[in-house]
């Protein structure tokens, strides 16, 4: 039985001035994995490589145990994709998109599509160009969810949307995950969304995965504390992951287990972890 919906082994891809990998990443079946990292870290490049939109320099990508290059048309019936933009000509109407998808996907379900279109208050006669960004994302999600996809891949799909729409989309993703064979890989800058929904967090930095961990373990492993300079001198240096200097001392992201128990610590958010790790590295370079 397959344990992973996506398996990436030693993936590398180089562009002028940027290099991704070697990257190893497994996305467990039945989970929502948040793929985070700063702009230009390589998130979209990874997702494009998974979808076969770019050609990796080396490495292997398997989706449901099959090589994407060899089985693309069959696999694409099982994958729903939502990009940050809707890549459908502006002149098409929603009902025409339905017809197009019916002719494209072997597993297209018109009833499901109409269900989502109605749920999102979209009209069949509306042209793509008349839709707002939020509505376009809802249409994109409707398409992704209407062909019996078992894996959803979302690339910055929630960025630029208002909190209500984002929340609605997250609810739908959580609904989708009620089926234990369904999996979601989502890259997002809005880490609070992932905080609510993700089972795992994979953190990409400068083209390399720094960690891929269960979200709950992650927030347990790390802690935030604010200490003066004198106290910091006495700490185990391995405990400090990142720091921010201020007038009275420093705010630290630390590894909880390596810290003395007497120090007061708080739970970090995923955003804290990401920012402190990146800043920590920059401070070290300085």
Partner 1 sequence: MKALLYKDLVSGKSTYLLALVIVLVIAAYLTFNEAMVIIPFLFAFMPMVLNTISFSKETKSDFAKFAFTTPITRKDYVKSKYSVAILFGMVALLSGCILGCLECVSLNLALIIGMVSFALPIIISSIQIPFILKFDEGRGGIVIVAINFLIFASAWLIGDSLGGLVDLIQTISKLNIYLIVGIICVITILILTISQNIGVVIMKRKEF
Beta strands 79-82 and 66-67 are unpaired
Total residues at the site for partner 1 (CB under 8 A)? 31
Q: Which residue number, 97 or 172, has a Cβ lying nearer to partner 1?
A: 97
Residue 279: C-alpha distances to residues 38, 101, 164, 253 (Å): 11, 45, 31, 10
Q: Which residue number, 153 or 224, has a Cβ lying nearer to partner 1?
A: 153
Q: Which helix (DSSP H) or strand (DSSP E) does residue 259 occupy?
A: none
Q: Smallest Cα–Cα separation from 92: which of 60, 64, 125? A: 125
The answer for residues whose C-beta is within 8 angstroms of residue 97's C-beta and 6 or more apart is: 88, 128, 139, 143
152 binds partner 1 (CB under 8 A): no
Q: Which residue number, 16 or 103, has a Cβ lying nearer to partner 1?
A: 103
Q: Are 80 and 152 in contact (CB under 8 A)?
A: yes
Interacting residue with partner 1 among 2, 14, 40, 106 (CB under 8 A) = 106
Return the residues of window 199-218 that contact partner 1 according to CB under 8 A: none
Backbone angles phi, psi at 135, to 5 degrees: -65, -40
Q: Which residue number, 69 or 245, has a Cβ lying nearer to partner 1?
A: 69
Q: Angle formed by the axes of helices 94-104 and 110-119, to 10°?
A: 150
Least separation in angstroms between residue 12's CB and partner 1 is 15
Q: Are 59 and 8 in contact (CB under 8 A)?
A: yes
Least separation in angstroms between residue 28's CB and partner 1 is 22
Least separation in angstroms between residue 51's CB and partner 1 is 5
105 binds partner 1 (CB under 8 A): yes
Least separation in angstroms between residue 143's CB and partner 1 is 9
Interacting residue with partner 1 among 16, 103, 164, 284 (CB under 8 A) = 103
Integer Cα distance of 112 and 275 in angstroms = 40
Integer Cα distance of 251 and 180 in angstroms = 40
Q: Which residue number, 130 or 217, has a Cβ lying nearer to partner 1?
A: 130
Q: Which residue number, 104 or 192, has a Cβ lying nearer to partner 1?
A: 104
Least separation in angstroms between residue 179's CB and partner 1 is 21
Least separation in angstroms between residue 185's CB and partner 1 is 13
Return the residues of window 43-72 that contact partner 1 according to CB under 8 A: 48, 51-55, 72
87 binds partner 1 (CB under 8 A): yes
Lookup: tokens for 137: 């994302």
Strand ordering across the sheet containing 18-28: 18-28, 4-15, 58-63, 66-67
- Residues interacting with partner 1, by CB under 8 A? 48, 51-55, 72-74, 76-77, 79, 81, 83, 85-93, 96, 99-101, 103-106
């Amino acid at each position: 039985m397959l344990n992973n919906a996506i398996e990436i082994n030693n993936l590398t891809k180089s562009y002028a001035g940027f290099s991704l990998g070697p990257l190893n990443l497994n996305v467990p079946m039945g989970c929502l994995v948040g793929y985070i990292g700063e702009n230009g870290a390589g998130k979209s490049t990874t997702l494009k490589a998974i979808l076969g939109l770019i050609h990796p320099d080396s490495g292997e990508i398997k989706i449901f145990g099959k090589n994407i290059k060899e089985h693309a048309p069959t696999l694409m019936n099982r994958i729903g994709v939502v990009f940050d933009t809707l890549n459908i000509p502006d002149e098409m109407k929603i009902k025409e998109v339905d017809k197009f998808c019916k002719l494209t996907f072997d597993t297209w379900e018109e009833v499901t599509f109409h269900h989502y279109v109605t749920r999102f208050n979209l009209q069949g006669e509306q042209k793509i160009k008349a839709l707002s960004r939020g509505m376009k994302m809802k249409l994109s999600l409707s398409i992704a969810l209407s062909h019996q996809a078992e894996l959803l891949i979302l690339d910055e799909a929630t960025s630029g949307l208002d909190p209500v729409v984002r929340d609605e989309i997250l609810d739908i993703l959580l609904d989708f995950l009620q089926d234990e064979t369904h999996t979601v890989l989502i890259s997002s800058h809005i880490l609070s969304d992932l905080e609510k929904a993700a089972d795992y967090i994979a953190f990409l930095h400068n083209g390399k995965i720094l960690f891929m961990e269960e979200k709950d373990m992650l927030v347990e492993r790390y802690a935030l504390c604010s200490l003066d300079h004198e106290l910091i001198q006495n700490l185990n240096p391995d405990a400090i992951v990142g720091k921010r200097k201020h007038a009275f001392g420093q705010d630290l992201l630390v590894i909880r287990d390596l810290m003395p128990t007497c120090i007061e610590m708080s739970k970090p958010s995923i955003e804290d972890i990401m920012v402190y790790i990146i800043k920590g590295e920059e401070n070290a370079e300085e």
